[in-house]
Structures are given as C-alpha cells and as structure tokens.
Amino acid sequence: MGKLILLPGKERSAMKRHPWLFAGSVGRLEGRARPGDTVEVLADDLRPLGRAAYSPRSQIRARFWTFDPAEAVDDAFFKRRIAAAVARRAALPELRGQQGIRLIHAESDGLPGIIADRYGDTVVVQLTSAGADKWRAAIIAGLLKATGCVRIYERSDSEVRGLEGLEAVTGWLHGTAPSQAPAIVENDVQLAVDIVGGHKTGFYLDQRDNRALLGQLAAGRDVLNCFCYTGGFSLQALAGGAASVLSIDSSGPALVQAQANLALNSRLPAARAEWLEADVFAALRDFRKAGRRFDLVVLDPPKFAPSAAHADRAARAYKDINLLGFRLLRPGGLLMTYSCSGGVGIELFQKIVAGAALDAGRDARIVRRLAGAADHPVALNFPEGEYLKGLLVQVD
C-alpha cells in the first residue's frame, strides 16, 4: 500500500475528520499507487491519519475511506458501510415507506463519490470518484445485499468524473431493463422516473419535503413554477388545490414527461395546468411587461456555481432570477427560492435574495429556511454536503 505523506501543518483537516485532502496538502507519495488505490495517509512526522482513495488527476488528491489507520478497506468494508447507510434511513419514521429514496449520500455516509437512489425495486448508482470506481463490484454487491433490489442501473455520467480522469459509464449492472420507466408515489402523487436520460439519477429526491410544503401552501393561489423539470412541484401544487399552475422549462422533453406525469394522476385538475417551453429569464421579463402576476413563485434553477470559484458569476444569475420573481408577486405573495450550488453558501444566498428584494422595491421576510430531505444528511465534518438551501419569503 502506498503512503501519502502530508506537508507540515496540513494534517489539521484530517484531524477534524474532513474527508478531502487537496493536492496542496500533499508532500509526497511513497511507494506506488494507481488511480483509485487505497493509500495510507500520514502526517509529515509519519503519524498515521487513516486510509484514503488516491486520485492523482484531481485537485482533491485523496478522499478518506476511514480515519482508523488499522481498518481494512475491502469488500467487507463496503458491505458494512452500505448496510449502515440503509439502516439509518430505515430508522427515520418520515422515510419509511418512501418509494423514492436516497440510500447513499456520498461523503455524508462515509462513502465518498458514491450516490445511490432507489426508485421502487430499482436502484440507480452514481460513482463520481476514482476510489468509488475502483470498488464498483463491492459496491454493487453491498447494495444488492442491503436492499434486495431487483435491478441496478449505473448513471456515472456526471462532469465531475472528468476531473478524476474517468470516462462516463452508464448501463445495467444487475437485472434487465423494465418494460416501462420506474414509477414512484410521493406525497400521494404518482411520478415516472427517467433513470436513463433524466437529470442526476432521474429525479430530484432532495426536494421531497419542499414539494410537500408547496402543496400545503398552494390552495387557491396562482402558482408559477420556474425550471419545472418533470413537474414535481407543479403536481404537488395542483394536488394542494392551486387555482392555476404555470410551469416553465427550457427542455421540451422534460415538459413532455411532466405532462405524462400529470396524466398518471387522473384526480388532478389538468385544466388548471399550463406548460411553457421557454428560457425562464426571458419568460419572466415578458410576464412583467405584460403585467402578469402570481401569488406563489417557485424558483428552483440548475446549479449556477459548481464551485466557490464560480460564486461571483452565479451570484449575478441568482440576483437576476430572484429580482424577476419578486416583481411578479402580488401583495402578500410567497417566493420559494432555492440554490443547489455548492459554491454559494446559505449566508451568501440570503444576502443575494435580500438584495433582489431591495432592488425590486419589495419589503419581505423569511418565513422558513428550506433544505434537503432527511435522506440527504449533512455530516458535521463535511459542511460542503449542504448544497441545497432555500428560503420561503413573503412579500408585503
């Protein structure tokens, strides 16, 4: 096993059990290690700090599997970690019975680079790091053992794999393709999930609780859902009794899927739903010019800042979209606004939204802070895991 020896003073993050070691912290590699290999991590005085997956192509040079220098990283290790992650979710009452659930949330479950989402009897796995890719067989075996699922599909096609020197990989790892897309029931609404071509693993499970909240707020309101994707928020608004729901997305295929999802729910009032394929920024400007107004606006845009280096540019985009949202609200209206950018923290996001309200000439207050669902935990030693943050804001 190779030994990764840190520069003087660079062991502090490891001592705090942070799972990442950046290239600038590494002094030298003793022995040989290929991408994804497990290496021993030592301080400059050769104190053992743990074992990590080595990634020579990435600025995150190593990701800790364990902070116990004596713990073996082998097939049994992944079996234990995966079983523990699944058991933690089974112990939470609010997650019991969920047909769509995140089973493994990477670093926050002690499994860096590993995402696994379950949709009914199908698990979709995403391996984003060299270490996770190296242990693919053990990970799949652990998932099969812990879940008893019928099939496993791999969606290792995110851009971050390129930073690890890895190519995109997709396809069935266990079982065969079903005759139709998996479907889940979430908050009494049925949704089909495109695990092959959809975003992430097919759906945004992290917004489950926030979609339920929207349903509770929607009664009698005219709702505008921006960046609607396949209609998760839209259908919850209709189920909650919204007077009307206008949903906008730039993706025609996503809107087709959203309308198909609506058709799965015959009890929902389809006549109250309007779908618009358009650039959201341009559409909202057109609405303002036309004098169109809404009682509740949902802003759930894509990731504007994949890292802190993009924060300034992202801040301008978040400012613009929230400014438009505030200007379209009727007095007493609600803005449900989100950022999923890891490079934009909650303090900065709140500052951006406050600036947008000021520029829009609206007095507003935060009614509730919003975050990911319980199956997307945030490890205390890894605050970067809190990528989804949101605010429910009411205007005068």
pLDDT digits (tens, 9 = 90+) for 203-250: 999 999 999 999 999 999 999 999 999 999 999 999 999 999 999 999
pLDDT at position 312 is 79
Of 335, 347, 352, which Cα lies nearest the Cα of 386? Answer: 347
179 is a domain residue: no
- Annotated catalytic residue within 149, 226, 228, 340: 340
Per residue in 71-97, pLDDT (tens digit) is 999 999 999 999 999 999 999 999 999
Within 10 A of 273 (CB to CB), how many other CB atoms are there? 22
Average confidence (pLDDT) over 186-207? 96
Q: What tens digit of pLDDT does each residue of 308-326 get?
A: 667 778 889 999 999 999 9
User: How many Cα atoms occupy the beta-carbon half-sphere of 29 within 13 Å?
Assistant: 19
Q: What is the pLDDT of residue 215?
A: 98
Give the residue from 18, 36, 66 where a domain finishes: 66
Q: What is the pLDDT of residues 5-39, one digit of tens each?
A: 999 999 999 999 999 999 999 999 999 999 999 99
DSSP code of 15? H
Residues 374 and 392: their CA atoms lie apart, in Å, by: 19
Same domain, 230 and 265: yes
Among residues 124, 144, 174, the one where a domain terminates is 174
Domain span at residue 310 reads 186-395
**Same domain membership, residue 21 and residue 160:** no
Residue 20 lies in a domain: yes
| 41 and 87 assigned to the same domain | no
Question: Are residue 25 and residue 152 in the same domain, yes or no?
Answer: no
Residue 305 has pLDDT above 70, yes or no: no
Q: Is 340 a catalytic residue?
A: yes
- Say if residue 384 is in the same domain as residue 314: yes
What are the tens digits of pLDDT across the range 115-147? 999 999 999 999 999 999 999 999 999 999 999
Residues paired with 184 in a beta bridge: 191
Provide the mean pLDDT of the chain.
96
In this structure, are 23 and 86 located in the same domain? no
Token pair 């520069």 is found at 7
Name the domain count of the chain.
Answer: 3
